[in-house]
Structure 1
Amino acid sequence: MDTSIIDKLKEIVDTNLISFHMPGHKLGKVYDKLGYSDILKNIYKMDTTEIDGTDNLHSPDGIIKKSQERASKVFKSKHTYYLVNGSTCGIQGAIMASCLPKDKIIVNRDCHQSVINSCILGDIEPVYIRPKINIQTNIIEGIERQDVIDTIDNNLDAKAILVTYPTYYGKTYDLKKICDYAHEKNMVVIVDEAHGSHLGLSDKLPKTALEQGADIVIQSTHKTLPSFTQSSMIHIQGNRVDIDKIGQILRIIESSSPSYVLMSSLDLAVDIYESKGELLMNELLLNIDIFTNDMKDNEFIDVFNEDDKTKIFISTKKMGITGYELEKILRQKYNVQVELANYYGVLLICTIGNEIEDFNIIKKALNDISKNFHSEKTIETIQYPMSIPLKVLSPREAFYKPKKRVKIYESIGKICGEYVIPYPPGISLLSPGEIITKEIIDYILLCNEKGMNVSGIKDSSLQFIEIVVD
C-alpha cells in the first residue's frame, strides 16, 4: 500500500511526539485524558453530509443550530457561526460584511495574509497601523494605542478597523480603549483572535476581545482549544453588524459541503471548554509557572511569556545558537516539536492538552542542550524591517495587473506583484501593489540563509520575484 501521507502521520503518532505546537488537542492526548476516546475512535464513520437529521451549516435549524447556540452562550456572544474553512473565511466574511467595494479598512500591518486577500476579494482599501517590534527577539508585540488613534483620525472615512489580538507570540494591548475610540468614530471593530480562543478560561489571562467591546471576533478554535485543524468560529455582538449579511457571505466563500467531522470537533471543544476548561487551564498555568521558574536557574536561556502566559518564547542568544538550530535539535534528539523558530529563539504554544510530563521533558532537553550545544559565537543582530512599504496600487489592482519575473535585486524600486511572507506566522513583509525596498530584500535573503521559510513568492529559491508591469 503506497500511502505516503498516512505512513508519515502514523510514524509521528507512534513516536509519541511531544507537542508544543498547534492543534490544541496535542495529538489527541486531551481526548484520551478526558474519556472521549470511545467517541473519536469511530470519527471516520461520522463523516457524512446533509441527510435527514444532520442539519445544514448554511441554514441550520436542528443539531447545528443547537450547538452554535450553546457556543454563543459559552463564549458570551450574540451569535456564533461555526467555520470549516478556518479563520480565513471568518476574516473574509467579517471584512466583506462590514465594507463595500472601494471602502477603507484600517488594519495592523502585522495582520495575517488572509486580511490582504480579503481586500483583494472585496476590492477594499487597507490602511496600515505600524506594529511594535522587539529588537532583541524580533517578536511582534502588537500596536500602540496612540498609533491606532492617529490612524483613525487620519482616515475617518474608514468603515471598519481590524486588529490582531493577541499576537502570535501572546502579546496584548489596551483593546478596550481602541474599541471605544473606533466606536466613537462609527467604525466596526473586527478582531482576529485566532490565537486567543482560550482566554476566557482564566482571569489570570488577558480579557477576551468580546469582553473589551469588539463587534466581530474570529477565533481559530483548533489552535488553542481541542478541535480539529481548520475548525474555527466567528462571534458577533452588539448592533453594529448585519449578522445575516455575514451569513450570506459565508455561504459564498465557505464550502458547500461542510465537514461534519470538523463541526463535531467544535461541538466537542465547546463541551470541554464549558465543563472542564477552567480546571484544565488552572493546571496548565501552574505547570507553566513551575517550568518558567525552574528555567531561571539556566544562565544560557531566557524565557519570555508576558501577557498570555500560554505562549512561551525561548531565547537562544546566550547559548550562541539560532532558534532554527534549537528547533532542529529538539525534534531530532528529544522528539519535541515547537510551534515556530525565528533567528533568536523558538515559540511554544501550550494548551489544556499539554501535561506536566511535556514540560518536564522539554525542561530536561533545554538544560541538556545548553550544556552540550552551548557555543561562544555571538548571534548577530538582524534588524526587522521597520518601515511599511509605500502602497501605490490597491491589492486588488496589483493582483489583476500583468506581471513579469525579474532577478530579486533588480526588483528594488518596482511594484511588487506577489506576497513575501515569512512563515510562520504568515505576516506579509511585502504585498501586491507595494514598492519593493532593499531593506526587505536584504532581510529575507539573510534570514532565509539562516533557516527562515518564505512563502507567497513563487520562486522558493528567492532568486526571482514578480513585479507589476507598468
Structure 2
Amino acid sequence: MENIFHKLLNYCGQDFVPMHMPGHKRNIEEFAMGNPYGIDITEIDGFDNLHNPTGLIMNSMNATAQMYGAKNTFYLVNGSSVGILTAISAVAIKGHKVIVARNCHRSVYNAVYLNELNPVYVYPDSVNDLGINGQISKKNVDKLLNENKDVLAVVITSPTYEGIISDISAIAEVVHKFGIPLIVDEAHGAHFHFHEAFPESALDNGADIVIQSIHKTLPAFTQTALLHVKGDLIDISKVSRYLDMYQSTSPSYILMAGIDNCMEFLQTKGPDMFEKYVGNLKAFISNIEKLKYISLFHTDDISKLVLYVPDGRLSGKQLYNILLNSYHIQLEMASLYYVIAMTSVGDKIEYYDRFMNALIKIDNSLDHQNQAVYDCTLIGCNKFEVLTAKVIESPYMAMNAELELVEVEKSIGRISGSSVCIYPPGNPLIFPGEIISVDIINCIKEAYNLGLEIIGLEETDDNLNIETEDDLNIETKDDMNNKISDIITDEIDRVIIDQIEVKKESENSKKSKKRGIAIQCMK
C-alpha cells in the first residue's frame, strides 16, 4: 500500500511548479516553520484555548482584526467551510428563507440544510462564452428581497473561483435597507487587502460577515482561514457558540501558529514582497498577451490566470495535461474550455520563467495544428454555467426522505435527494429537493466524459456506456498514426505528440464501457 507521507516527499522532491493553492507555494526558504512535531501541543498552561480565548490567541485574533479593519476576527482551523457554516447558523431561524447566490460553494448549501432553511436563489450574470459565471447584480438581489419578506440574510461568493467580483458596496446598501446582514464568501480574496492592484475586500464595502481562506492565496497552511465580523447586525455570541460546535475540539496549534506567522509576515515583509509579486505577475501577464493562440481571460483579480485557446485548437483539459506531463507545471484546475493557474506572494521568479517558456513552446506548436479538437462554436452553450433550479421540496425534507439510487440517464424529471457538484470549485449542479432536468444530466455526462471530479454520484454494478460528445472531433487511429509518423522529435513537435496521445485516450474511452453512475432521488 502506498504511503501518503512518502508519496508527498517523492513528489515535492521533484521539479513541479505549483501554480495552485496553497499560497505558500512550498516556498520553505521564506515560510518554513521547522519540524511540526517540535511545536505540536495541546491546551497547556500559557497557550490559551481557541474555544475560550482570553490571552495569547485572543490577542492574536484582535491584532488580525485591527489589521483587516474588522470588529471581530476568529481563527478557523477547519477551513472557510466551518466559517460559512457558522455565519449562516448565527443568523438562521428554522423554516425561514435565505437568499443564496446559486454559484456558492457547497458548504453554503450544507448550512442551508443543517439549519432547515428555504433557499431563494439569485443567479450570476453570464460573463462570456467560456461558461464562466459573472457577478451577482444589485438589481436581482433587490428584486428577490422585495418578493420575499421573510429573508434572514443574503449569501454571495465574491470573488468567484475565476476571480470575478460583485459590487459588494451596492449589494450591501440594498440588503441593509431590509435590516438583514450580507454574508460574503471571500475565500479566494484574503490577499485583496495588501496591494492596490487587487480589488477591495468585501470587508471594506459593507459586508457584515466575511470568510477568507488565507491558505488559498497567502502563505499559510491548508485548512487555515479567517471569519471577520463588521457592523452591528451580527450577534457575536452566536458566532462564538456555533464556532464552538463546528470547529474541532482539538484545534491544531501548528495551524494557529501558521495563521499568526502569516499575519506577522503581512505586517513586516508583506509590503515589499507584495510589490515584487505584483511586478512579476504584471510582467508575466504582459508576455501572455504576446502569444498567438493561448489567450488570457481578464478577470477582476489579476492573481487568477484563466487561460484558453479561442479557436478550439486545444481544449482546457489538453492544455492542462500538456503543461503537467511535458513541463511539470501543475495548474489549479481544468475545464473543457479553459484552465486556471493560481499565483501568490509565495511564487518564486523561476516559477513564472518556466511557466512562460512552456506556454511559448505550446503556443508555437499550435502553428502545426490546423484542426480544432472541439467545435468552438459550441462554447456558447455554456455547458458548465449555473443552471436554473426548479425547487419542489425543501433541502432538509428531501435529504431525509426515503431515497433510491437511480441511473443518471433515468433520473430526468425526478426530485434529487443528494447534492452533485463538479470539484473544483464545488458549486452544486443540483441540490436536494430540485427537479433533475435534461440540462443537468447533459452537464453531468459531459463532466464525466472529460474526467472531471464529480462529487455526489454513486457507481453501480451495471456497466453504462456514456457516449463522448461528438463535438470533440476525435480523429481515427489511422489519422493519428499517420500524423505521428510525420512528426520529427524536436521539442515543439513533442507537444503535438502529447496532444495526439490525449485524443487517443479520448477515442479509446469512447469505445470502452464504464461503470454506471447514479444519483439518489426521492421515491
Find 2:177's aligned residue among 165, 174, 184.
Answer: 184
Name the SS of the counterpart of 1:428 in structure 2: strand
Return the offset for 1:284. Answer: 1.7
- In 2, Cα distance between the equivalents of 1:403 and 1:306? 41
Find 1:295's aligned residue among 288, 295, 305.
Answer: 288
Give the aligned residue type for 1:447. A
Alpha-carbon distance change, 11 to 119 in structure 1, aligned in 2, over 3 angstroms = same
- In 1, Cα distance between the equivalents of 2:224 and 2:20? 16
- In 1, Cα distance between the equivalents of 2:233 and 2:457? 37
Aligned 8 A contact 2:422 2:447 in 1: no
Give the corresponding residue for 1:278.
271
Alpha-carbon distance change, 319 to 32 in structure 1, aligned in 2, over 3 angstroms = farther
Does residue 313 of structure 1 match 2:282? no
Aligned 8 A contact 1:304 1:314 in 2: yes
- In 1, Cα distance between the equivalents of 2:391 and 2:370? 43
Give the corresponding residue for 2:29.
32
- In 1, Cα distance between the equivalents of 2:516 and 2:212? 33
Return the offset for 1:10. Answer: 0.6
Give the corresponding residue for 2:484.
none
- In 2, Cα distance between the equivalents of 1:101 and 1:274? 42
Does residue 353 of structure 1 match 2:346? yes
Give the aligned residue type for 1:464. A
Return the offset for 1:139. Answer: 1.5
- In 2, Cα distance between the equivalents of 1:394 and 1:360? 51
Name the SS of the counterpart of 1:406 in structure 2: strand
Find 2:165's aligned residue among 168, 172, 193.
Answer: 172
Name the SS of the counterpart of 1:162 in structure 2: strand
Aligned 8 A contact 2:323 2:329 in 1: yes
- In 2, Cα distance between the equivalents of 1:124 and 1:280? 44
Unpaired segments of 5 or more residues in structure 1?
Answer: none
Give the aligned residue type for 2:520. E
Aligned 8 A contact 1:319 1:370 in 2: no
- In 2, Cα distance between the equivalents of 1:120 and 1:70? 34
Give the corresponding residue for 1:377.
371
Superposed CA deviations along residues 183-234 of structure 1, whole A, max 9, x for unmatched, are: 0111111000000000001122111111001110001110011110011110
Return the offset for 1:3. Answer: 5.7
Find 1:332's aligned residue among 325, 329, 335.
Answer: 325
Aligned 8 A contact 1:324 1:343 in 2: yes
| TM-score, with structure 1 as normaliser | 0.95
Give the aligned residue type for 1:155. N
Find 1:250's aligned residue among 240, 243, 246.
Answer: 243
Does residue 466 of structure 1 match 2:460? no
Give the aligned residue type for 2:161. Y
Q: Percent identity?
A: 35
Does residue 260 of structure 1 match 2:314? no
Aligned 8 A contact 1:419 1:431 in 2: yes
* Number of aligned residues: 462
Return the offset for 1:348. Answer: 1.1
Give the aligned residue type for 2:199. P
- In 2, Cα distance between the equivalents of 1:205 and 1:456? 35
- In 2, Cα distance between the equivalents of 1:16 and 1:260? 30
Return the offset for 1:446. Answer: 1.8
Aligned 8 A contact 2:99 2:119 in 1: yes
Aligned 8 A contact 2:155 2:184 in 1: yes
Name the SS of the counterpart of 1:140 in structure 2: coil
Give the corresponding residue for 1:21.
20
Aligned 8 A contact 1:317 1:345 in 2: no
RMSD: 1.6
- In 2, Cα distance between the equivalents of 1:124 and 1:425? 23
Structure 1, 324-333 or 422-431: larger mean CA deviation: 324-333
Give the aligned residue type for 1:12. Y
Return the offset for 1:412. Answer: 0.5
Superposed CA deviations along residues 95-133 of structure 1, whole A, max 9, x for unmatched, are: 010111112111100000000100111111111101123
- In 2, Cα distance between the equivalents of 1:163 and 1:448? 28
Alpha-carbon distance change, 386 to 425 in structure 1, aligned in 2, over 3 angstroms = closer
Aligned 8 A contact 2:458 2:517 in 1: no
- In 1, Cα distance between the equivalents of 2:312 and 2:294? 7
Give the corresponding residue for 1:447.
447
- In 2, Cα distance between the equivalents of 1:341 and 1:453? 11
Question: Which protein has the larger Cα radius of gyration, Structure 1 or Structure 2?
Answer: 2
Alpha-carbon distance change, 113 to 414 in structure 1, aligned in 2, over 3 angstroms = same
- In 2, Cα distance between the equivalents of 1:182 and 1:198? 25
Return the offset for 1:458. Answer: 2.5
Superposed CA deviations along residues 168-188 of structure 1, whole A, max 9, x for unmatched, are: 111112110100110011111
Give the corresponding residue for 2:437.
437
Give the aligned residue type for 1:251. D
Return the offset for 1:54. Answer: 1.6
Aligned 8 A contact 2:193 2:201 in 1: yes
Give the aligned residue type for 1:285. V
Give the aligned residue type for 1:402. E
Alpha-carbon distance change, 462 to 55 in structure 1, aligned in 2, over 3 angstroms = farther
- In 2, Cα distance between the equivalents of 1:317 and 1:12? 33
Alpha-carbon distance change, 335 to 57 in structure 1, aligned in 2, over 3 angstroms = same
Aligned 8 A contact 2:96 2:118 in 1: yes
Superposed CA deviations along residues 308-330 of structure 1, whole A, max 9, x for unmatched, are: 11111011343612111111111
Alpha-carbon distance change, 47 to 396 in structure 1, aligned in 2, over 3 angstroms = same
Structure 1, 266-275 or 428-437: larger mean CA deviation: 266-275
Name the SS of the counterpart of 1:210 in structure 2: helix
Aligned 8 A contact 2:138 2:174 in 1: no
Aligned 8 A contact 1:423 1:454 in 2: yes
- In 1, Cα distance between the equivalents of 2:371 and 2:148? 48
Unpaired segments of 5 or more residues in structure 2?
Answer: 461-514
Give the corresponding residue for 1:392.
392
